[in-house]
Amino acid sequence: MSANTAHARHIVFAVAPDLVLLDACGPIEAFWRAELTLRAQLSSPSAQPCAYRVTLASIEGGVLPTFAGLPVIAERLDALDPATIDTLIVPGVPIDDNTVLQPELVAWIAANAPRARRVASVCTGAFYLAAAGLLDGRRAATHWRNATQLARRFPQVEVDDEPIFIRDERAGRVVWTSAGVTAGIDLALALIEEDCGHSVAMQAARRLVVFMKRPGGQAQFSEALAAQSAAGGAFDALHGWMAANLHSELSVERLAEAACMSPRTFARRYVEAVGRTPARTVAAMRVEAAAHALAQSRLPVKRIAADCGFGTEQNLRRAFERRYGVLPGDYRARFSAMSA
């Protein structure tokens, strides 16, 4: 969409009581930053909306309690013209095994979402989309803590607990789902890129002081955090040491020495605690570190390969193709915070 678009896209956040505030506020802020970027390009900061106009709405309207305790003011969903909705986004609420979804909101989503160009959820908002039948037969993301609940409650949904966000297009309809809280900003930036192009999305990310526009396939956990979580703290110090020494030789023998164990005992206990071999953790941490360096610096790929312990640029290329399906140069071109 060009900066001189005559009709702004109407983004509607359909919210339930106990809204997780950042699920809505983060994406709303991203859309506003994109709007500011395009207004600046038009040299008319006070112009009418040229990219987006955003509405926060609930079933009853008025003051809406949020999970954070800060109330917000919402419009009534039944006061909106569904034909004007370009993008419908459903943010999350706290979910446990006893949570009852607001039936009126489920019914409104089921009746009106099919008229929107695209539908999305942030975090546990996926439960509302699933209850409305919009995720049947689709792959969907949610917060990693709620993925098992979503799969158990809605077995017709293909739940994936790893990605930051998922874009599922089939039968001519696009549905986006995202992981928890700040992942909603990543989702919004992806929607902005789809509408307004890479440059506007990256400038919006800069305005938000977001380090980079993360790809949807990126894991919800960093590799170091995922390993520490799986180990329950047993190898926290070692994982921190590994992250700081990726350029070094990280053989089982060297890791065992750092952990003050024999190689045989270390290898066994590590697999028991983390659920994968030390070599797999090292490989995953190296790829993640290389991805961060590509996005956040202008260092040559050869230098990044050496700094992250790949030895050669060719080894880095092979690892990147396996993990991300693209070459390092393509990844940098798409996700670098140093461009645009």
The residues carrying an active-site annotation are 123
Amino acid at 177: T
Alpha-carbon dihedral angle through residues 35, 184, 28, 16, given to the nearest 10 degrees: 150
129 three-class SS: helix
**Closest by Cα among 262, 278, 280 to 319:** 280
Q: Which helix (H) or strand (E) holds 128?
A: helix 125-131
The C-alpha atoms of residue 178 and residue 184 are separated, in whole angstroms, by 6
Q: Which residues pair with 34 in a beta bridge?
A: none
Cβ distance 53 to 11 under 8 Å? yes
Cβ distance 102 to 59 under 8 Å? yes
Q: Is 291 left (phi over 0), alpha (psi -120 to 50) or beta?
A: alpha
Q: Who's near 261: CB < 8 A, 6+ residues apart?
A: 269
HEC string of 196-225? HCHHHHHHHHHHCCCCCCCCCCCECCCHHH
What DSSP character marks residue 168? E
Cβ distance 316 to 305 under 8 Å? yes
Give, in order, the Cα–Cα distances in Å from 152 to each of 123, 134, 144, 161, 162: 16, 16, 14, 13, 17
Q: Beta-carbon neighbour count of residue 40 at 10 Å?
A: 12
